[in-house]
Amino acid sequence: MSIQSNAYRSEIVVPLTPNNVDGNGVDQLDIAGRSILSLLHKAADATEQNSKQALEMAQVLSQQLQDAQQQIVELQANARYHEDRADRAEQWLHKIYTEIDARFTQREAVTSHASPKRRVQ
Q: What is the DSSP string of 37-69?
A: HHHHHHHHHHHHHHHHHHHHHHHHHHHHHHHHH
- For the stretch 8-51, pLDDT in tens is 555 565 555 556 556 666 788 888 999 999 999 999 999 999 99
pLDDT digits (tens, 9 = 90+) for 61-86: 999 999 999 999 999 999 999 999 99
Is 73 inside any structural domain?
yes
Parent domain of 49: 5-113
In a 13 Å sphere around the CA of 96, the CA atoms on its Cβ side amount to 6
Helix (H, G, I), strand (E, B) or coil at 121: coil
Cα separation, 26 vs 11, whole angstroms: 18
Give the residue, 75 or 3, on which the prediction is more confident.
75
Instruction: Look at residue 121 and tell me if it is in a domain.
Output: no
Contact of 71 with 23, CB cutoff 8 Å:
no
Q: Is residue 118 in a domain?
A: no
- Mean pLDDT over residues 92-105, rounded? 94
Give me the number of domains the chain comprises.
Answer: 1
**Maximum Cα–Cα distance across the chain:** 145
Neighbour count for residue 8 (Cβ, 10 Å)? 13
User: What is the phi/psi pair of residue 78, to 5°?
Assistant: -65, -40
Q: Which residue has the higher pLDDT, 87 or 12?
A: 87
Residue 32 belongs to a domain: yes
Residue 119: inside a domain: no
pLDDT at 112 over 90: no
Tell me the pLDDT band of 3, cut-offs 50, 70 and 90: very low
Within a domain: 45 = yes
